[in-house]
Structure 1
């Protein structure tokens, strides 16, 4: 087990430390940062907060999410609406993600990328214009199952946002109520979480062991007083060097 530095602090302190960690990793190509974790862990919010800080430091930031690399609904649910295996194996187009985003931004890539291949609102393919990233850009990519074997070597910095599964159910229920008010089907939300999303995360943990591969683990159960664990001795990838001493936290 790698040596870990441990800390706990305010939300602002966490974001500041993550920005420091990003600055400490240098590559000859845009820096690809995975922000992984279970549904409703707070990945998107964390990535958005971090993007604000990095842009204020004059860093070019690319924001993208796994939700824009879904397969069409018919394929995602071909094993059934509540299938955990379907959620893990059938939901995301990893080949397209690598082809249009991660590989162009990686070693030997031409830096011309697309941030999406799918429009969830219309359940149709999406093909936004290709953009050329500066060599010192940062990709902040949030989503589930990002540290699985198909993707693990495509990231230059790996962050895992950890929240107890039971708490993600509560957050999903609260989020549904906030978006839909009294029309929210909280029973359906809970069924989806308990039958599909949580079991798929358990499958992910059993097969891919994502926290073993994370450079930083953020324990996000207390949103305003998070705990984080930054592990020393980052793995080397082509063109990457690191001088990383992030504080992090114990549970």
Structure 2
């Protein structure tokens, strides 16, 4: 398997090139997926300014703002790994409010957040319109087995040992949720050491 070591800046540059290769008259949906220790939101954030510099409007959305209400999410307790993997994310809400509006022929009208999990109530966010040619950058964990549509998917891969070492004690109950999670992404990045990422057998952009 081909492995290409990169610096963090080179990884950002590689992803920006891939995103910018998509048509300028349509939306590009990018999913950045990884277990919490990889901090996928930080990588998604790092793509914003370079894409704007290429005249690509960007919208940042986090899957953490599309969790289900606590009454549903925690139905089987606060530390149930199966529920964490399958039921915490409101995938239908994410599809309806964020991804489907950016389908070809869509409206471009996106709700950037749906639910405030800390307060357990609707976020009451306003809709925003992403112009054609704009890029949606969506980060989260366990995103790539939910059939969410995207033009580019990025998975930050951790070895089992690194995942166990880097997961805080209070979150170790989530580890079984990742045991058989092996998503096929357009771009897979080895991320045991974020300062030394490496591309692994990536799919070339079409």
TM-score (norm 2): 0.91
* CA apart distance, 1:57: 2.8
Say whether the 8 Å CA contact 1:215–1:230 is kept in structure 2: no
Residues 172 and 97 of structure 1: CA distance in aligned 2, closer, same or farther (over 3 Å): same
Residues 27 and 94 of structure 1: CA distance in aligned 2, closer, same or farther (over 3 Å): farther
1:124 and 2:95 are equivalent in the alignment: no
* CA apart distance, 1:60: 0.8
User: Equivalent residue for 1:177?
Assistant: none
What whole-Å deviation, never above 9, does each CA across 1:59-118 have from its counterpart, x for those lacking one? Answer: 211001110000112221111222111101220111111111100011221111111110
Residues 232 and 148 of structure 1: CA distance in aligned 2, closer, same or farther (over 3 Å): closer
User: Equivalent residue for 1:160?
Assistant: 155
- Unaligned runs of at least 5 residues, structure 1: 174-186, 235-241, 243-251
User: Equivalent residue for 1:224?
Assistant: 195
Which SS does the other structure have where 1:62 is aligned?
A: strand
**Higher Rg:** 1
Residues 27 and 103 of structure 1: CA distance in aligned 2, closer, same or farther (over 3 Å): farther
Q: How does 1:1-251 map to 2 (within 5 A)?
A: 6-26=3-23, 28-151=25-148, 154-173=149-168, 187=169, 189=170, 192-193=171-172, 195=173, 197-203=174-180, 205=181, 209-210=182-183, 213-229=184-200, 231-232=202-203, 234=205, 242=206
Which SS does the other structure have where 1:25 is aligned?
A: coil
* CA apart distance, 1:201: 1.6
TM-score (norm 1): 0.76
- Unaligned runs of at least 5 residues, structure 2: none
Query: What CA distance in whole angstroms lies between the structure 2 residues aligned with 1:140 and 1:85?
Result: 26
- Which of structure 1's runs of 4+ aligned residues deviate more than 2 A? 25-29, 55-58, 164-173, 229-234
Bigger fraction of residues in helix: 1
